Copies of this chain bind each other. A is one copy, B any other.
């Protein structure tokens, strides 16, 4: 069977927005938050682009998706632009997130997301180990994985992170989808196979480290390509 690989997009209103644009908008907004926090009022495209490590042209093109225009003389007003990107990105209501697998990585993730994003909070943890369920973890209740369906429905969770061993990941993912989860972030080093209407993102740290190690061996000066034709 051939895999149909349509680029993931989300139609919003009339326009369709690329996945890459969404990621960069999220990044821009985070940088804008920091700028606002540090008291910066206005910012030019080349400044913001430098902080995000993109070209100014791409930044401006990305901002075309947001309903806000900057001034040629002052640039963009930091807080206004941040709000406009937020209006584009944020859900109408806060989204609840579940975390499955309270192991080494799972606990680190808890610590990381603790009080970080107000409208994107971990509200339920799941595990299969009796010693780890029916407790509070960083102020969040943990349940046995068999209760997933009930808890998900009850709390209206439709986003989940998977941090269980690779051998259990596919089974856990199936359970979650069955429980109504529409979108997954998977840390286990297995490619999940799921219905096409479920969005899946893989963070494969092992592969990424290998990639980084591979590119550590590239020639020092990879930029110059002329010399003797």
Query: Which of A89-112 touch B at CB < 8 Å?
Result: 89, 91, 95, 97, 104-105, 107-109, 111-112
A49-B3, A51-B191, A55-B3 given; A89·B206 CB < 8 A: no
Cβ proximity bits A107-128 to B, threshold 8 Å, 1 near / 0 not: 1110111001100100000000
Query: Which of A9-40 touch B at CB < 8 Å?
Result: 9-11, 19, 22-23, 26-27, 30
Contact in complex: B183, A196 (CB < 8 Å): no
Query: Which of A187-201 touch B at CB < 8 Å?
Result: 189, 191, 193, 196-197, 199, 201
Residues of B within 8 A of A9 (CB): 218, 222
Tally of A interface residues using CB under 8 Å:
75
How far is it, in angstroms, between the C-alpha of A97 and the C-alpha of B3 when the chains are bound? 37
Residues of B within 8 A of A51 (CB): 191
> Among B11, B197, B205, which residue has its beta carbon within 8 angstroms of that of A203?
B205
Contact in complex: B223, A183 (CB < 8 Å): no
Contact in complex: B3, A50 (CB < 8 Å): yes
Q: Assembly of this chain: how many copies?
A: 2
Q: How far is the CB of A101 from chain B (nearest CB, A)?
A: 11
How far is it, in angstroms, between the C-alpha of A96 and the C-alpha of B143 when the chains are bound? 40
A71 at the interface (CB under 8 A from B): no
Residues of A within 8 A of B (CB): 1-6, 8-11, 19, 22-23, 26-27, 30, 46, 49-56, 89, 91, 95, 97, 104-105, 107-109, 111-113, 116-117, 120, 158-159, 161, 182-185, 189, 191, 193, 196-197, 199, 201, 203-223
